[in-house]
Amino acid sequence: MDLLLLDLVIVLAAARLFGALARWLGQPPVIGEIVAGILLGPTLLGPLIGDKLFGPEMRPPLQALANVGLVLFMFVVGLELDQKLVRGKGRIAVTVALGSTVVPFVLGCVLALAIADEHVGGDKTLPFVLFMGAAMAATAFPVLARILTDRGMQRITLGGLALASAAVIDVLAWTVLAVVVGIAGAGESEGQWKVLLALPYALVMFLVVKPLLARMVPAYEKAGRLTPGLLSLVLLGLIGSAWATEWMHVHFIFGAFVFGTVMPREGAERLNHEILERLEQLAVLLLLPMFFVVAGLNVNLRELDLSSLGTLSAILVVAIGGKLLGSYAAARTQRLPARQSWALASLLNTRGLTEIVILTVGLQKGVLDDELYSLMVVMALVTTAMTGPLVRRIYPDRRVARDIAEAERAALGVTAAHRVLLIVPDPPAEQVPLVGLTTTLALSRSPSEVVLGHLRPYPAGRLEVGSGLSSELAELAETLHDLEALAGTARERGSATRVVSRFSADVAGELPELASGARADLLVLPADVPGHAAVRDGSACRVVTVSLPLPEQAEPGSEPGAVAVRYGSGDDAAAHVALTLAMLWDRPLVVTGGNRASALAQRLSRLEVAAESGAIPEGALIVAADTATAPEGAHLLVRTEQDPDPVDWAEAVAALRAPIRQL
């Protein structure tokens, strides 16, 4: 008994220490807890200390405590599973979940067939193959929820879709695992007929037990709190359900999970919250870390050799490649943008808690040997650890903040307008072509808003009350009149327009502040405005630098000319601006460059756009990317926004045809 208590002290202290270290490193605590178990086991401590502290006689009581924690944890997972996640996202979530499950499952089965002779034999081959497929297809719903919550992504569409897809994957993975466990246990004495009771058990749980549990809600409301009697009833049902599935050779985790899913939902929010408060403290703080440390104790990396490294490489390729490619391809079939598709695939690649539970079941049922179990645990650690950094790189915090702001506006019923800021140079009265170009760019999306920004420098000397002041005020009034006239031309074309104008003692110094305060989606910036470089470099949005004067063909209503773009790698933003002007001005688009330019012209032609590749025609409006190698003679230089999405040209053309119909 004294050794058991000492083991508990060591295990819990190590779990808390390494869990905190993992959290400090930006990783889920489960990674630290599993690493703690690996270090306490034969991998580091070896046979001398490790066998004395955690020898064969100590493993059964530690495993028993860990299994109790697992029962409570699986109940919590079932209880917290939001069944409304899939509503409204059903088609996309199911499609992504199928792609994220089927591809790694098939690849896992193929890999299992290749290595089956080395690790299993005889009647274990079929459950081994199915088990490896299920293990490769798993996604850790609880760890995924934690990663999303830490970054606030559960509040945006991408986060909700990831949770919905993971919920469907969980159902598929547990179903396959139940079949595997049933097949693996069917060869045991007394086990052949008991597995057949799994379906009647599920029907009883959902058709009989679930309505009975709903009666707890009025009892809870009458008592006003979670009484010991109600909590005892929940624990009795939970443990009884876990025992029933274990007796049927379908493993106790399914009984615990199913009992959590049949708990009442409607009107039971406060009841479930109190149940979670009571059980989560015991499960998460004490018994669940015990489970993961004990899982790590079963890992012995000392016994791995070069052949094991080859198997580990194959496991990582199948697990990571299958998940990423299957999820990404499925998301793209639902027309999710490429960035969101990769982020979703990376999120669904996390294994964590769910994977360790599945692997432990496989080890207990004899489907996995010790070597393969160790390799699969390493895979679970790698895929979980890579999720956070990979998603942060694909979907940076700026994108998350922008999506959260859009979600909040949508919740308030506010539609954000596509805002284009034009810095108007002097003299304003001569900038009609510039305003026409800006308005065209604004009308590419609806609703849109044009902001005309203008800073008037203070006159030489101080303004004093007297004859000088009236002339300066008259000059400012004339400027405002010219700006309002420009705004009128923009409004005539259907774009909401407002003017921001004031005197400035330092135009070059204040223009970056004006541009930042406008929170524009697109900035149109003449090349000769004071402080041009500071304004451009300080803006996070797409910036179009305009070399004045523009050619006559650039003004709407003039004789038809062409819009030309120099196109190469990374020039999508410039090509998109050129496409916008060409389509909304009804001009031909000429794409010049190399093979990429020719391919883009052909693609746009197939979309029924008047586009061709070739030399730039004389008098064309030339658009190019704003880079260090920007060509001379370009009228518009386009610098892409921060964290840009790749342009989907079919969607871009379709979006531009709507304003054309309105015009």
3-state SS string for 265-282? CCCCHHHHHHHHHHHHHH
Does position 256 have pLDDT exceeding 60, yes or no? yes
Q: Which spans in 25-156 are helix H? A: 29-40, 46-53, 59-80, 90-119, 125-137, 141-151
| β 522-526/542-546 pair status | parallel
CA distance readout (Å), 423 to 47, 395, 427, 548? 74, 31, 12, 13
Which residues 6+ apart lie within 8 Å of 309 measured at CB? none
Residue 346, pLDDT above cutoff 80: yes
Compute the average pLDDT of residues 516-534: 86
Arithmetic mean of pLDDT, 143-163: 76
Side-chain half-sphere exposure of 570, counting CA atoms within 13 A: 11
* CA pair distance 428, 445, nearest whole angstrom: 26
CB 362 within 8 A of CB 131: yes
Q: Is 68 exposed, middle or buried (0-12, 13-18, 19+ CB in 10 A)?
A: buried
pLDDT of residue 411: 56
Lowest mean pLDDT among 522-526, 566-570, 602-606, 651-655: 566-570
Q: Is the pLDDT confidence value at 461 over 60?
A: no
Identify the helix (H) or strand (E) that includes residue 604: helix 595-606
The mean pLDDT of 408-429, rounded to a whole number, is 74
Q: Are 81 and 261 in contact (CB under 8 A)?
A: yes
Over residues 409-431, mean pLDDT = 75
- The confidence score (pLDDT) of residue 323 equals 93
CA 330 to CA 324: how far, in whole Å? 10
Weakest mean pLDDT among 253-257, 317-321, 449-453: 253-257
With tokens 């015009």, the residue in question is 663
Nearest residue to 174 via CA among 140, 205, 117, 134: 134
404, 409, 411, 415: CA torsion to nearest 10: -130
Tell me the residue length of the chain: 663
DSSP-assigned beta bridge partners for residue 566: 592
Per-residue pLDDT at 131 exceeds 80? yes
pLDDT category of residue 342 using cuts at 50, 70 and 90: very high
- The pLDDT of residue 107 is 94
Angle ∠(192,193,196) on CA atoms, nearest 5: 110
Q: Name the residue with higher pLDDT: 327 or 458.
A: 327
Written as six digits, the tokens of 552 are 């006559």
The residues with which 421 forms a beta bridge, in sequence order, are 451, 523
pLDDT band for position 416 (cuts 50, 70, 90) = low
Is the bond leading into 29 cis (omega within 30 degrees of zero)? no
Best CA proximity match to 158, nearest among 330, 325, 342? 342
Average pLDDT over residues 184-188: 57
Q: Helix and strand tally (H, E) in the chain?
A: 29, 10
Please check whether residue 293 is in contact with residue 356, taking contact to mean a CB–CB distance below 8 angstroms. Answer: no
- Taking the C-alpha atoms of residue 508 and residue 501, their distance in angstroms, rounded to an integer, is 14
CA distance 469 to 472: 5
Chain CA centroid to CA 126, Å: 35
pLDDT confidence band for 557 (50 / 70 / 90): low
Residue range 460-467: average pLDDT? Answer: 50
Task: Check whether 324 has a pLDDT greater than 90.
Answer: yes
Kindly indicate the confidence band of residue 364, based on its pLDDT and cuts at 50, 70 and 90: confident
Q: pTM of the prediction? A: 0.69
- What does the alpha-carbon distance between residue 296 and residue 555 come to, in Å, rounded to a whole number? 70
pLDDT value at 215 more than 50:
yes
Residue 437's φ and ψ, nearest 5 degrees, are -65, -45
Q: Is the pLDDT of residue 189 over 50?
A: no
Q: Judge whether 343 and 161 are in contact, CB under 8 Å.
A: no
CA pair distance 472, 458, nearest whole angstrom: 9
Higher pLDDT, 452 or 4: 452
SS3 call for 446:
coil
